[in-house]
Each structure stands twice: as C-alpha cells, then as structure tokens.
Amino acid sequence: MVLDCGLVLVFPGPNSATGEDIVELHVHGGRATQRALEAALGEIEGLRPAEAGEFTRRALEHGRIDLTEAEGLGDLLAAETEHQRRAALRLSEGGLRQKIERWNDRLVDVAASIEAALDFSDEDDVPEAVTAQSGVALAILSDEIGRLVAAPSVERLRDGVRVVIAGPPNSGKSTLINSLAGRDVAIVSSTAGTTRDRIEVPVVRSGIAYVLTDTAGLRNEGADEIERIGIGRAVDAIAASDILLWLDDTPPPYAEALWLHARCDVPGRQALPTGPELAISAASGAGIAALWSLLEARAKALGSAPDEMAINARQRTLLASAETMLRAGSAEPDILLRAEAIRSTRAAFDSITGRANVEAVLDALFGRFCIGK
Amino acid sequence: MNQFDVIVIGGGHAGTEAAAAAARRGARTALVSFDPAKIGAMSCNPAMGGLGKGHLVREVDAFDGLIARATDAAGIHYRMLNRSKGLAVQGPRVQADRRRYAAAIQTMLAEQANLTIVAGEAAALRMVAGRIAGITLADGCDLVAPSVVLATGTFLGGRIFRGEEREIGGRVGEAAASVLAEQLRGAGLPMARLKTGTPPRLDGRTIDWARLDEQPSDTDPWTMSPLTPARTLPQVHCAITRTTEVTHAIIRAGLDRSPLFGGAIAGAGPRYCPSIEDKIHRFGDRDGHQIFLEPEGLDDHVVYPNGISTSLPIDVQEAFVASIPGLERTRILTPGYAVEYDHIDPRALDATLELRAIPGLFCCGQINGTTGYEEAAGQGLVAGLNAAAHALGVAPVILDRASSYLGVMIDDLVLQGVTEPYRMLTARAEYRLRLRADNAETRLGPIADAAGCLGDARRERLERRNVARTEIEGGLEQPLSPAELIVRGAPIAPGPHRRPGSEWLRLAGVTVEQVAPDLVADADPALLAEIVEDVRYAPYLLRQEAEIAMVRGNDAIALAADLDFAGIPGLSAEMVERLSTARPSTLGQAGRLRGITPAALAAILLHARRRAA
C-alpha cells in the first residue's frame, strides 16, 4: 500500500551529521500522511522515535560537534526571529569555540613570555620588559572578553526586548498596547485605574522580538489595595525594562524614557509640544509607524551587531569571571600571580568548551531539548 | 645471601634514592653497581637544585631521601635563584664538591639498615610466569627478588660522541650496560634514543679570575635540607664570563665536524640545556652567551664552565675556549662530549613507575627519558617506595599533581611520554602557587610518615613543626585595630574595624613584624615565613581548591581498563594512538593528553556512560 510519493535521501556515515548512517524521508505535509508514516515506521523491528535532543547527542557522541556547537544548535531550534537565528547559527557553527581558541592562543603566548622570565631570567636570556608588555596584552584581551560579556544574551534575544508602557492613570497606555499588539489584549475604559496588573504580550516586528508590557497607572493616592499592588508591579516592570515608553503631559521621572504625546487625534492636541519626542494616536493610528521606527532603532542599539554572537547564561558567567581574573592579572605587579590569572582564565575557557567538567555541561545541555532533534 | 625483597640496578642519583627508600621502608635491598667506588657520582654539572629542580630536591628530602643532606655535606656555593620573584618560584641551588658529595652518599648508604651494595654488572632480568623473579649478574651469580628497579641512567646502550670519535660507554671511562639493553629491546618494550651533553672541564689554575665578575655564595645562611642546621664547608666564589663573536665564529666553522650536525646522533637533545653549537645555531644574532665558571671542589682545581656543553672535536674546543675572556690560557682537562642512550617510553609505566607489561619491574631516572640529577632522584624515591610496597605487600605511594612536583613529573611522564629529555620547570605545575620549595615538608611530611619511610629525627621534627604551626596560626588570627598597626609603622588608613592579623597581611606593605612582633621574636623564622606566604596566597589557593574540585569531576569518571578507544567513533587515528598508549584511567587524565579535543572528550564520556548503562 502506497503511503506517499516522496524523496529519500541517504547520508552514509561517518561524514553525516551524526557520524552514523542517516536516512531522511521527505514526504508531503499534512498530519494524516505523517501519522500514517510514523505508524508504519513504528512497526519495523529495531526502530523507535528519537528522544529529545537525541540526534544532537549522537553528533556529540561521535565527535561531529563540540559542546558550544551543540548549545548553539539548541538556540537555533528555539530561534523565532531572524536575529536570533543568525546569532544561534554563528554559535552552532563553532563561532564561540573559534573565538575562545584564538583568545587561548594569545594567552599561551603571554604565558610563555612570563614563564621565560620566571624560569630562565637567571640565565640572563630574557629581558625584563617582557613583563610590562604582558600586562598590556592581558588588559587588551580582558577588554575583548568584556565586550562579548556585555553583548545581549541569547535569552534576551529569545525572550524579546522588554518595552514597558508607563504613565499616570488614564493616559492611554492600554489603548497603545492594543494598537501595537494588533489586537485587544488589554481592557480599555474611561475609568482611571482600569489596568491593575501587568499585561505582557510578545510581538515580533522587522525581525526583532519584543515583550510589550502594559502597566497600572502610577498615582500616589486614591488607589485601593489591589491597585496599589498593581502599581508596585508597574514600578518593578519599569526597573526591568529595556525601553520605557512614557505617556503623560508632564515629563517622565526616568531619564532614558521615550516621552510620547498621546491622543493627538483629540482636538487641541494635534501639535507636538516641546518635550515629548513623538505625537501618537493609538485610536487613529497617527505616529504609530514612526513609533515602531523609534523602537527598532533603540532595540538595535541595545542589541548585538549583526555579526556578533549571543551567548547564553552559562557561558556568560564563565566569561565574566574570566574577564575579572584577567583584568586583575593585568594590573598585578607580582608576575607569578599574573601567570596564575592566565591559568585560571584558560581553565574558565575549558569549562565553556567542555574540556573541563564535561558531565555537568552535558547534563545542563540535554535538559534543554524538548523535541526529537 | 642472594635473597632480597628489592634489587636496584645502578648507583647513580636514581638508584641511590631508590635503594635507600626501599630499605627505609623495611625491604631487604641490594644495590648493584659496576663500580661501588663511583656510587653517587655527579656526571655533569656539579650543582644540585635550581628553578623547579630545587623543588624536587626538597620534596625528596621530605621523604627523608639522601640528595639534600648530601648536597649540604658538600655544599661550597649557595645561591637562591629568583630571590626577588616570590617564594613559589624561588629555586635553591647549591654547588657541591664532587668528591665530598659522593662520599656523603656512600656514607649514608653504608649507615642505612637493610641495604647491601653488590659490585657487578646486571646481565639479565629473570622472570617467572611473566613476573620479575630477580636478576643474573655477568659472573653468573643469581640474585632473587620479587621487585627490581632499573636505574641504569646513561649506561644503557650508551655511545659517546666527541667530534669524529666514537666510544661505547655511558660516562667517560666507564662500561656501558649493553647486554641489559639488548634484553630490554628484545622484550618489545617501546624504546627510543635521547642525547645529553657535557662541557669541557677546565684547569682552574690557568683561569684569569682577577679579570672576571665574581658571584659569591649567598650570605643568608640557608641550607638545602631543613635537617642541616648550618653550612659546614668554606664557601667559594663563582665567576661569570661570556662567549664572544670570535667564539661564535670558531664554533660555526666547526659545525660540520660536530656529531649533532653531522647526523651521527639520532637522539633528540634537550631544549633547555642545549649545546653551545645549538645555541649559536639557533640564537646566532646574540652577541654573547653567559658562562658560569664553577669550581668542582674545595681542594680541586677542576672548574666546570656552565653554558658550553659541546660535542665538537677537541681542537675546536681548545680554540673556542681560548677565545673566551679570562680563559685565554686555560688548559682543558677533559674535553666535552655527547652521550646518546636508550630510554623506555615512560607511557609504558603506571603512576608507581612499575612497568605495566612486567609486574615487579620498576624504572626510574634517565632510563625514562628525563635529564638531571634531581629528576632522577625524584623518580628513584618513588620507584624505591613502590618496589618495596610490591615486595612487602604494603600500600603504594602515588602522588598527584596537586601535591608535589614529584607528582607533576610522574604524571607528565606516564601520561604524555617524552619527545626530548624531560626537565622540571615551575611552568609545568598548574598548582605552582601552593607547591613551593619552602613548604615541601609541610605538604609531604604526612604522606611520607604514612608510608613509613621517615627516620626518628625527621618524625620528631614533623611533630614539633605541627605544634609550632598551630601556635603561629593562632597568633596570626588575633584581631588587631588599624591604630595598633599604624603605631608599628604599617602603611594603612585609620579606621574602627579590627581584623585578624592574617587579613592585614594581605594588604600591600604590611609586614609580619608589624602584625605579630611577638611571633617574629619567638617563632622559627622559616616556619613563620612559610605560613605568612600561605596567608598571602590564601585567596588564590582557595580559588584553586574550588577549581580542583570542579576538575576532579572529570577525574571521578573512571574509564574501563580495557576500553577500546578505536571503537569510539569520531576519534582521529592520532587520538586513538595516544589514548591507547597512555591508557588513561579517568576522563580527567584523558583530557590532559595532548591533542584530545573537548568534542573527543564528550564522545568518550558518552561512550563510557553507555557501556556502563
């Protein structure tokens, strides 16, 4: 009985993705066809569905990919935006490993010159100026590591730039979030204090992921208990925001906020007064496109450059400690301690690539996969 | 009496330590040597210790070994290298009177219980059912023992090269152990050839000392062994001179007659102690290489020129020596030469230095591809302790990298093998901050005591130091206010907070005299200095502890002894070869092998896990 007409690809090992022989069946879409095929495959002796992350695990087992590549692969599969995809791809293609290898090579050079000064200086064969140069080299390297540490994390890329809409009650916040989200996510009413809780909605626009947050209007008196809790949450959200949109006629109490002049469709409010950056009307749509442009510009400024990598929390912690150690080492007058800083940094690098403490890394890695890839 | 527990072949630095260590552990030990009068001879540089090497000397001494005490008995010039660079890289170096050094060693061996010196040549090993049963001497005599230690040094299949001359021998004027070498080669053990060189010996009466810069012995009266209270011999000066452009030109002209460049020597030479031909060849743009002129003894006019190791023909040696300032009229007593010799690939050994292929056979010293008396002595100690353990059925002594330079050396040898003569450098120790030459007895005393190889004097000292240590550490924990310290001259800011003395010591410019003047007055200065240094490095050591714990994660993952690395997909042929030869027993060891990538480690781990599941 013919299930489907499709394409069969055979990749013989060891040059396949996992190192083993791989067969790919490319069939027509449609849930019924897929289910029928899965059922038929299930009846073949010795065949079973892959576990979560199993193909990646096999690639790792066969040495086809290393740990940072596997981590990148995990990010790639979770990528929802173009930006995330490119960042994850760079990681999965060994971008981080290569960067670390190059840093490691430079560290080895500096270490060698320091060791020569330590072990052979008495044979009068190594100049003392070497130690001055090593301090400079280490400072430069720690700056480079610092730049990668400061780059936005893959989690932020994945979860989205946090845009918080804040202002006094009844300033048009909920109307704005509905307009930006393209649907009614928040209740709008003319009564002040409608929004009591935080409303979060993920939105993707121009390849960038955002999390828009509507908040309770900020006011000092006249709020009941529930609204006060909501105001507390609003303050927290503002503190955690990447971009703050402020809707009010009085200036925002936060320095980097984007001050908007809302409801410019209402008579008497058409002109943009001095102070706010942009006039918008969520009801009429005026200024919304311009607002998106502003958001995009700010998000890009926050975000990593197109060629940068996005590292995950595990890698960031290790790199941050490496940066700290190396920076301290570069200023350290005792060159023995400088050599020790280099050694510690290389140990941190080993933990990132998985050379050290492989088990812990593998466990953390395979806990993340939730589909059969 | 021909029945022993341990037989040691070779009376050099490895053999003497091995024999003494086995005897101290209670094994009936025989030391077999071609010529017992030459036991303890220093075949090259008349100095012990130095950078990295000095650590090994102190560590052997912590096990009550011979090398440090013999050095002090013969010490005529003491210099602490790297004095300004911190205790962790300081290297105690002592020049010894050759004759007195050998005499001291022979005396200590004569006084050692359980030890018999046997004059003779070991012709063959005797084995029963694949295990060592003893040896046969060249005169036909059989010696029976379950443990044999090979410490044959440069005698094994040795050939001497000087210019166009060739000789069979290990040291000038001595026979080579060729028969034994044949037997080892025939056993199919992995072997290779290395070379080592020595400079010409000069007649000190014909050196123009007055023109040269002097280097006196250190005035600070430190000694190599903490058990030696003071230096006993008068101290001599060394002198310093340099090679010149003329020297280099003469050497270059003679390169084609050097065995090194003539291709006659196949063995790889050391990077760190290259011949003067190598130095000129590689660093040809330097305008001069430093030479230390070291007297070989008090009543000895022989001078050892440190830095011009060579195998050039005699006439070239005479010419280039004469071109060196101060040596214009100097007579060469013994020309320099190179020795090429067999060695065993030490990856065939396990961490006790026992040959995996032949249980009961232990190898130590130059036979394993190392260079230097100190490296030899360190291996001799470990081999001797473990040969005794094998014979007596007691616990072996296995030292890891975090405990000692001995541990670093043995791990490097048995895991990585050698491509050139292995020499200790502080750079090899990743835990260098904790492995100092001044704290060897603190680190290793308890291990040595547990192995039962300490004499009474040493054990008493250990106990006394433990008591004193507790007192000093308590004293340093006393809280002090800034005001108290400022009054004593400490360069700190005033403030209300009292802190323990140990915390104050970590600040720049604060000294122990300011923090604990009572301790400075009463306590043993060396012990106090050691503890102060521990305190200063404490934050780094703490971080290292955390790191060791993390890395030990990999060490905790055992790999089966019969693991077929070739069966793990994704490993390159080169990786498989390295892994199969070294046979790492844990993932941590596998990770330290050169050329093993993280991807490969992950593959090995996952494979090992699946097998276990």
Question: Per-residue DSSP letters for B204-222?
Answer: GGGS-GGGSEEEPPPSS--
**Distance (Å) from the C-alpha of residue B110 to the closest C-alpha of chain A?**
37
Q: Which residues contact B446 (CB under 8 A, 6 or more apart)?
A: B462
Question: Kind of pairing, strands B115-119 and B290-295?
Answer: unpaired
Helix (H, G, I), strand (E, B) or coil at A104: helix
Which residue in the set A337, A354, A356 is minimally distant from B540, CB to CB?
A337
Cβ distance A134 to A335 under 8 Å? yes
How far B92 CA sits from the closest chain A CA (Å)? Answer: 12
CATH number, position A142? 1.20.120.430
Domain finish residue from A246, A272, A302: A302
Residues A292 and A314 both lie in one domain: no
Task: Answer yes or no: CATH 2.40.30.260 is held by domain B201-339.
Answer: yes
- Give the best residue of B308, B554, B574 to mutate against chain A (max A CB count within 10 A): B554
pLDDT per position as a tens digit, A195-223:
777 788 888 888 788 889 988 888 877 77
All residues at 6 or more sequence positions from B193 whose CB lies less than 8 Å from its CB, including other chains: B157, B266, B267, B340, B341, B342, B343
Q: Where are the beta strands (DSSP E) in B391-449?
A: none
Q: Which tens digits make up the pLDDT trace of B238-250? A: 999 999 999 989 9
A63 touches chain B (CB under 8 A): yes
- Confidence grade of residue B202 (pLDDT, cut at 50, 70, 90): very high
User: Does A276 lie in the same domain as A201?
Assistant: yes
Among the candidates A256, A282, A302, a domain finishes at: A302
**Cβ atoms B583, B552 nearer than 8 A:** no
B553 closest CB neighbour out of A13, A335, A357: A357
Which regions of B200-355 does DSSP assign to beta strands (E)?
201-203, 213-215, 238-242, 290-295, 302-306, 332-334, 337-344
Cut 0.80: pTM above it:
no
pLDDT band of residue B550 (cuts 50, 70, 90) is low
Range in B31-40, B88-97, B602-611 the model is least confident about:
B602-611
Which residue type, as a one-letter code, is found at position A120? Answer: F
DSSP string spanning B131-155? EEEEEEETTS-EEE-SEEEE--GGG
Cβ–Cβ of A66/B51 closer than 8 Å?
A: no
Cα–Cα separations (whole angstroms), residue A8 to A1, A12, A13, A23, A24: 17, 13, 16, 7, 6
A65 and A78 co-located in one domain: yes
DSSP A206: T
Q: How many angstroms away from the CA of A372 is the closest CA of chain B?
A: 18
A359/B557 CB distance under 8 A: yes
Q: At which of A302, A329, A361 does a domain end?
A: A302
Report how many domains make up chain A.
3
CB contact under 8 A, A62 and B51: no
- Report the b/e string of B188-201 with b at 16+ CB within 10 A: ebebebbbbbbbbb
Q: In terms of domains, do A3 and A67 share one?
A: no
The answer on A143 and A13 residing in a single domain is no
User: What is the distance in angstroms between the Cα of B555 and the nearest Cα belonging to chain A?
Assistant: 9
Work out the average pLDDT over A272-291: 87
Residue closest to A143 by CA, chosen among A106, A111, A117: A106
Give Cα separations from A97 to A85, A361, B235, B337 (angstroms).
Answer: 18, 15, 57, 48
Domain B556-612 class?
mainly alpha
User: Exposed e or buried b for every residue in A225-252, given b needs 16+ CB within 10 A?
Assistant: eebeebbebbeebbeebbbbbbbbeeeb
Tokens of A138: 């280490």
Whether residue B421 has a cis bond before it, omega within 30° of 0: no
Chain B residue closest to A341 (CA)?
B540
A257 CB neighbour count, 10 Å cutoff:
21
Contact (Cβ atoms closer than 8 angstroms) between residue B227 and residue B464: no
Mean pLDDT (chain B, rounded): 87
Q: Is the dihedral of CA A183, A187, A189, A191 positive or negative?
A: negative
Section B18-33 average pLDDT:
97
Query: What is the identity of the amino acid at A278?
Result: L
Tell me, yes or no, whether A164 and A297 share the same domain: yes
Mean pLDDT of chain A: 80
Domain coordinates in residue numbering, chain B? 6-42+50-77+86-194+340-450, 201-339, 456-547, 556-612
Q: What is the pLDDT of residue A124?
A: 45
* CB neighbour list of residue A105: distance below 8 Å, 6 or more residues apart: none
A98 interfaces chain B, CB cutoff of 8 Å: no
Please state the CATH superfamily assignment of the domain spanning residues B6-42+50-77+86-194+340-450 in this structure. Answer: FAD/NAD(P)-binding domain (3.50.50.60)
Instruction: Write down the CATH number for the domain with range B456-547.
Output: 1.10.10
* Selection from B105-109, B277-281, B293-297, B523-527 with the highest mean pLDDT: B105-109
In this structure, the answer to whether residues A251 and A182 fall within a common structural domain is yes
Quick one: A101 and A39 in the same domain?
Answer: no
Domain limits for position A141: 54-151+306-373
Whether residue A115 and residue B88 make contact (CB cut-off 8 A), yes or no, is no
The pLDDT-based confidence of A314 (bands split at 50, 70, 90) is confident
Q: Give per-residue pLDDT as tens, B422-477.
A: 888 888 888 888 899 999 999 999 999 999 999 999 999 999 999 999 999 999 99
Q: Give the least confident one: B168-172, B211-215, B333-337.
A: B168-172
The CATH number of residue A216's host domain is 3.40.50.300
pLDDT at res. A356:
63
Q: pLDDT at residue A93 above 70?
A: no
Output the DSSP codes for A269-309.
Answer: --S--SS-SEE--TTT-TTHHHHHHHHHHHHHHHSPPTT--
pLDDT confidence of A158, banded at 50, 70, 90?
Answer: low
Would you state the pLDDT for residue A373? 44
Model confidence at A305, in pLDDT bands (50, 70, 90)?
low
Q: Give me the pLDDT at residue A184, please.
A: 79
Same structural domain for residues A92 and A137? Answer: yes
CA distance A237 to A251: 19
Plot region of B365 (φ>0 → left; ψ -120 to 50 → alpha; else → beta): left
ipTM (interface pTM): 0.75
pLDDT at A115: 78
Beta strand B337-344 pairing with A7-11: unpaired
Question: How much is the pLDDT for B39?
Answer: 95
A298 shares its domain with A315: no
What pLDDT does residue A120 have? 61
Q: State the first-to-last Cα distance of chain A, in angstroms, to the nearest integer.
A: 29
* CB atoms A63 and B86 under 8 Å: no
Statement to judge: residues A213 and A275 lie in one domain: yes
Token output for B148: 């044999």
Number of Cβ pairs closer than 8 Å across A and B?
Answer: 119
Phi-psi region of B140 (alpha: psi -120 to 50; beta: other; left: phi over 0): left
Confidence band, pLDDT 50/70/90 cuts, at residue B25: very high
